[in-house]
Amino acid sequence: MANQIPKPLIHGLLALFVLSTALGSSDVPFIVAHKKASLTRLKSGSERVSVSIDIYNQGPSTAYDVSLTDDNWPQTVFDVVSGNTSKSWERLDAGGFLSHSFELEAKAKGIFHSSQALITFRIPTKAALQEAYSTPILPLDVLADRPPEKKFEWVSVLTN
């Protein structure tokens, strides 16, 4: 008697084939966004947060009317001191890259959790606005009590 292939395996392979064909033939942008933030202590009681968001189009077609919104920084905790928390571009070509940055000043001490930035864009084949989200950032310990860095001691240790 010949060995028969189990029906669930055939159905699974058929589903994978259909899915890969659908994904492989789609001619839409694929937006990937990476959000990062860093803290800079200016003086005692003052700290800046530098935020940058890199947006990549990994898809085979252009994204139009690209907008970035990162308004998850409460005004009770942060002031915008440089740049804007939102930005728009006319287009992001396939394989293209956009970057946006802004700087905030912390007004309150504590651990802050920022959510993802929102990227919206249009594609010619669909009327609805498309959405993508950036990666989240790690919690920021704003105005934390940190021991002072001893940079000059490190230099003397390294040069000896």
Q: Between residues 54 and 114, which one has the greater pLDDT?
A: 54
| Per-chain mean pLDDT for the chain | 83
pLDDT value of residue 127: 86
Question: Is 80 exceeded by the pLDDT of residue 141?
Answer: yes
Domains of the chain: 27-141 (2.60.40.10)
Residue with tokens 């968001």: 53
pLDDT value of residue 19: 46
What tokens does 73 get? 């920084």
Q: Answer yes or no: are the C-beta atoms of 84 and 68 closer than 8 Å.
A: no
Q: Considering only 90-94, 100-104, 153-157, which range has the smallest mean pLDDT?
A: 153-157
| Full DSSP string of 21-63 | HHHHH-----EEEEEEEEEEEEETTEEEEEEEEEEEE-SSS-E
pLDDT in tens, 11-66: 555 555 544 444 454 688 999 999 999 999 887 678 999 999 999 999 999 999 99
pTM beyond cutoff 0.85: no
Q: Return the closest-CA partner of residue 51 out of 89, 91, 84.
A: 84
Question: Is 80 exceeded by the pLDDT of residue 124?
Answer: yes
